[in-house]
Structure 1
Amino acid sequence: MYRILIADDEEQAREAIIRKIDWKTIGFSIVGSAENGLDALERAERLHPDVVMTDIKMPFMDGLQLGEKLHETMPAVKLIIFSGFDEFEYAQQAIKINAAEYILKPVDADELTETLKKIKMQIDHEVAERRNVEVLKRHYEESLPAMREQFLIRLITGRVTEDELEGNAPQFHINLQAESWAVVLLRVERKEKTARVLEGQAKLVPILLRCTAEEELKPYFSFMDFIIENCVAFIVEVCVSDGILPLVSRVNQVCRSARRILGTKVMAGVSTVTLHLSQLQQQYQEARSALEYSAVMGGDQAICIADVEPDTSIRVEFDEQDTNEIINAVKLANRQEISDKLNAVFDRFHSVVLPLEQYQIFLLEMMTALLKVLHAYKIDETEIFGKNFSVIQAISQLHSPQDMQHWCTEICMKISSNIERERVNSTRILAQNAEQYIHEHYTNPNLSVEELCDHLHVSPAYFSTVFKRESGRSFVSYLTDVRMQKAEELLNVTNDKTYLIAQKVGYTEPNYFSYVFKKKFGISPSKYRNQK
């Protein structure tokens, strides 16, 4: 059943339409009705109809204005406009707002039934298109190359688990049976210079470099390649008995070929090999370091990290991704995630033999990031560390990796708790400031959530979420309640006419003010006053 909302300021017209049609037989149900455009818009946002049938001439907001709003906020809704005016201008406006049908009053039941059947077929077709397995399969296949690249980026940056890798290997054509793998990174010296070769298309430079490298490597190696941070990355299958040297030699040839085509130097970094595809993050970091060595040494050659840093087997870098994930967990006050992220980092450190100094360097980098968070949230450092705190001294007193992990976890938890407290306080203050602004400006008929958010320096989306959580009401609902409360006071203590009270509480339309008042209190303003 598709859902229909009917809007007409004449109650008899609404009831007549509802009575005339056998809704269930043609696949529809009436979910609500409204007597003006504003009421209809509010109900549509709450009831999510598939079709809105509206008269043109209505108070407060006419049918065309309603259709325009629906077209902006709920574009999938089908709009049927009916009117007693056979004027071309109205029909033109209806077309502009993408109305499905324009029907003249009085509404003929057979004509409306046929119209609704036609609209149902349109909706059926749209729903079927979205559900069509073949269409979805085609979209999936078209998206597969991009999905594969994103997966490989996650893999190389250490964000794919063993289970994920095994589960996705078939669809992404990843060979899990290779003996070992290495990472190669390629980068041109200056993209703007090479762009001359491609007639100013600098964005195409990595693609040309990638194609050149693929042609050179394909006869000799199996690999997966993608672009990451303006570099071309290759995850290359390496035969253990051959070692890394054949790959380094071939990548050197890539540099020379790319130099001839692009007209500028090409840098290349090659990692050591790993037996575990799910642990490529170490190889990626090695290739990045080797790439920088290649640049320093003049480019046009492949640098293997093993040649310049022989002890990479005992070096584990604290990656920027580690920082971001831990800091995000701290900011979001997710205690379990903080613990999990720190466990993952320290477990990785435990997997190799590291001197204590490596752990101390890790903690110094971690503390630098955490201190930035403290300053960003204006949290007093003494609340976390106490008085006369020294980072160097505190770290030097930790004599085992276990002590360091425990200390780091404790600090992260303290900061996270403080952030959560600050966040609760700040959202409460934001809501209080909003309420104060509404009480001070409710007389302005143009008061809007956008104006309020400009004053508070927050986005409307964020404000709406926070305000609803703190006050239990939306901005519109709260503003209406304030205006009605003030209107009730004025009716009780003054002899002002209704239209003056409407103006004093922010309504330019006395009739709409009366409509809202009656909706709130159950009786009109004049009857309310007479009851005193």
Structure 2
Amino acid sequence: MYEVMIVDDERRTRQGLATLVDWESYGFTITNIAADATEAMELFEKRRPSLMIVDIKMPGISGIKLIEAIRKKDQKICFLILSGHAEFDYAKKAIQYHVSGYLLKPVDEEELLSYLVEIKKNLDLEKTSHHANKKGKIEKLIQAALSDEITTEAAVQLQQMIYWNKFTIILIKCYKKNDLDLKQMLKESLQESVPFTKDSYLGIVIEQKGEAVTIPSELDNLLGAYGISYFSVRSQAVGKVEDLATCYREALELMRKSFFYIEDQIVTKDSLHIREYVEESRISLSALEEQFVYSVEIGDWSNIHPLIWKITASLEAKEYTEAKIKKRFIQLLSSIVNTLSTEYPEKRETFSHKLYELTEIEYLYHVTQLVEFIHQFIKEIVELIDCNKEKIVVNKMIHLIEQNYHKNIKLDNIAEVVHYHKVYLGKLFKAHTGEYFNTYLDKVRMENGKKFLLQGFKVYQVAEKVGYSNPDYFHSKFKKYVGMSPSTFRKKSQKKEFSKKELG
């Protein structure tokens, strides 16, 4: 509401004007009524209105003199002059004081209303323009402060213009923003903040209220309404404008590392980093990836999720960037899908479609999203091959043999692990591999035994390493499958290696 003061020496005129129209319906409210110019000046000093309706001819100080005195103090206030027919020409002198109009007594309601509509329109425009100019100046000073180029005088001026006790900076990284002018949209939506763009990021300087670290609901609603995925970081709060440059550098560093924080929307210096979240693995990266592939192939669902985290943490520890980590996972997942596509030709077309989904990884903006996306992707892959459970079971058996051949491993033990009857499991294994379980186990042990023999281990040591407590039994098994004794194999292999070197 714009405030109005009525100044007239006639009581009837004052009261009549106050009740002539519904002032509030037109955006005005009468706050003061004065009987002469002296009283009007006193009231003006206490509470300056937006509009004064002044009688041109009053005892003592005239309306013209009153307008002249007030105009020296306030260039923006609006005036409407009340005039009788005799004073109308005289009233025209007031034009030099930029009055908004002249009302002849008795005042016509429609004429007064037409003036009020026009005056309110001009006041609204002026208010909007003033607000825009102020915002523009604040933005300019904020930009200077962010670049550490603000003067002490300008910093004081900025502090007085926004009246904030504590400042903090939110930097925002948007995905799929569709060329929207987000800065302008934020200006219109976030009244209590100063949006800016710097170093390709969208940011807002906002007042820190309390200890809560949250995204302004207007920002979340605005970006959500346009389907824009975003990630943000928030600096510590400072009490001086001059410290905004420090805040910005802190926010920029957080944004640079933002992908590796666990929080899914806003990151601060106290946020949990992947290095704190995932225990450092002592296994090499290649070994972790090999385990991951094995887990997928044998449907070891319980191991997949932890492995995704370990691989990601291992890559981060090797200082892989966000882009390089995404690329590495795309390559790894593509390799798995292509392998499965070969193993399950009837599913080839479905697997091809799944490969296209991997492009979505580029739009994931933090590590938790990446891990969950991969986890879900693998889950869907496993479900696709789950129709052939028998093959998965056999793959799992082969994996268990290769990992545990050195132990006293038996078909009974594996049957318990995969929840199948041992007789049926033995037939299933033979059908898919062409070998009986014990024969396959023996051959795996012999192949590993060869490696140990060539490494220089004694025969009895090799027997223990591949799961035989009796060296003689190992000796007979080796001769059965390899066609010669362990000692003869070693000698022949060494001789062959020597001949190669001689020829070389």
Q: TM-score, normalised by structure 2?
A: 0.30
- Report which of the two structures shows the higher radius of gyration computed on alpha carbons: 2
Q: TM-score, normalised by structure 1?
A: 0.28
